[in-house]
Amino acid sequence: MRLAACADVDPPLVGKANYGPFMDAKTEELRAAHDVLAEFYADRLADALDHMPAERAVLGLFCDLTLAADLGTSVGDVGCGTGRLEPYLAATGLSPRGIDLSPEMIRVARRDHPDFDFDVADLRELPFEDASLAGVVCWYSLMYLAPSDRSAAFSELSRVVKPGGYLVTAFKAGDSQVRRGGRSVNLGVEFDVYWLSPDEMERRMIDAGFATVFWGGRPAEGQEGSAQGYLLAQRS
Ligand SMILES: C[S@@+](CC[C@H](N)C(=O)[O-])C[C@H]1O[C@@H](n2cnc3c(N)ncnc32)[C@H](O)[C@@H]1O
């Protein structure tokens, strides 16, 4: 396993302008940690979806509904990490574009999935036009948001999805309390992560203009420390 370092980041990907007004100390900690985690993720998670039927089922429902809505095929993979979902989304007929806070995640995503577009961006200021996407995927990427950022983040997701389009999210489900993530992989990184309340997530989606289509969850499996939650909603 090769480990990445911030110093390896290609210069053109680095730039405060990409982050808008959000680069505070917590965000910088999160970005730096995920720069270090990028090769670990690429190594460990590349084929994880093959072994996770519940995750494929939820993503598959999102893909089916999004294509049936006939709003085009453009979808955002928001907090895309190393881009492992792109081949799955594309195989169904969707055209995903990934964005991520971490330049190193984006470098690895471009390397491992050269047929797709990836950009460094913060999900609180998405690089998509208003109502330009048939859907957005937020796969384990909303659980780092502090409570004070969540309304604005859901509003931003709502802004970019066409009426009738879909949002799907997976997250660590729990008591809403903040925890320190990253420690278990022993790479010297840590950051804030929230085990999110499914009720709160659903309420925030509804407040942002979405209507619930599916919600669900499953208990922790293997090394997972928490149950997992899933929500799929349609833009009103
Ligand atoms: C657990 S990883 C999941 C990656 C990918 N969705 C997957 O399932 O493999 C979470 C990702 O969210 C990204 N992320 C966290 N906060 C973000 C933000 N505010 N804007 C954009 N990306 C963010 C992290 O950099 C990280 O790559």
Whether 143 maps to a domain, the answer reads yes
From 10-14, 30-34, 203-207, the region with the lowest mean pLDDT: 10-14
Report pLDDT for 19.
60
Report pLDDT for 14.
41
Whether 1 maps to a domain, the answer reads no
pLDDT classification of 22: cutoffs 50, 70, 90: confident
Atom of ligand 1 nearest to the CA of 138: 6
Going from the Cα of 81 to the center of ligand 1, the distance in angstroms, rounded, reads 5
Atom of ligand 1 nearest to the CA of 141: 12
pLDDT classification of 20: cutoffs 50, 70, 90: low
Of 101, 115, 161, 153, nearest to 136 (Cα)? 161
Going from the Cα of 65 to the center of ligand 1, the distance in angstroms, rounded, reads 24
DSSP 18: G
Total structural domains in the chain? 1
Of 49, 60, 53, nearest to 232 (Cα)? 60
> What are 133's strand-pairing partners?
161
Report pLDDT for 198.
96
> Quick one: what percent of the chain has pLDDT higher than 90?
86
Report pLDDT for 21.
73
Whether 2 maps to a domain, the answer reads no
d(C-alpha 122, C-alpha 66), whole Å = 24
Residue nearest to atom 17 of ligand 1 (CA): 101
Whether 71 maps to a domain, the answer reads yes
Residue 7 has pLDDT above 80, yes or no: no
Whether 9 maps to a domain, the answer reads no
pLDDT classification of 10: cutoffs 50, 70, 90: very low
Q: What is the dihedral of CA 90, 116, 80, 217, to 10 degrees?
A: 10
Whether 7 maps to a domain, the answer reads no
From 10-14, 137-141, 187-191, the region with the lowest mean pLDDT: 10-14
Atom of ligand 1 nearest to the CA of 105: 27
pLDDT classification of 29: cutoffs 50, 70, 90: very high
Specify the pTM: 0.92
- Which CATH number is 222's domain given? 3.40.50.150
Tell me the two tokens of residue 231: 């929500």
Tell me the two tokens of residue 150: 């969540």
Of 2, 79, 11, 80, nearest to 39 (Cα)? 2
Going from the Cα of 79 to the center of ligand 1, the distance in angstroms, rounded, reads 3
Q: Residue 227 in contact with residue 220, Cβ under 8 Å?
A: yes
Q: 30 lies in which domain range?
A: 16-235
Q: Residue 45 in contact with residue 72, Cβ under 8 Å?
A: no
Whether 117 maps to a domain, the answer reads yes
Report pLDDT for 98.
98
Report the chain's mean pLDDT, rounded to a whole number. Answer: 91
Report pLDDT for 107.
98
Report pLDDT for 16.
45
Distant-in-sequence, close-in-space partners of 61: CB < 8 Å, separation ≥ 6:
168, 214, 232
Q: Residue 166 in contact with residue 64, Cβ under 8 Å?
A: no
Distant-in-sequence, close-in-space partners of 118: CB < 8 Å, separation ≥ 6:
80, 83, 97, 98, 99, 100, 106, 109, 110
pLDDT in tens, 134-186: 999 999 999 999 999 999 999 999 999 999 999 999 999 999 999 999 998 88
pLDDT classification of 18: cutoffs 50, 70, 90: low
d(C-alpha 195, C-alpha 155), whole Å = 21
Ligand 1 pocket by Cβ (under 6 Å): 30, 34, 45, 79-81, 84, 100-102, 105, 122-124, 139-141, 144
Going from the Cα of 234 to the center of ligand 1, the distance in angstroms, rounded, reads 22
Atom of ligand 1 nearest to the CA of 77: 6
The pLDDT of 84-92, averaged and rounded, is: 98
Whether 62 maps to a domain, the answer reads yes
Residue 86 has pLDDT above 90, yes or no: yes
Going from the Cα of 99 to the center of ligand 1, the distance in angstroms, rounded, reads 9
Going from the Cα of 162 to the center of ligand 1, the distance in angstroms, rounded, reads 23
Residue among 39, 141, 143 to mutate when testing ligand 1 (max atoms within 8 A of CB): 141
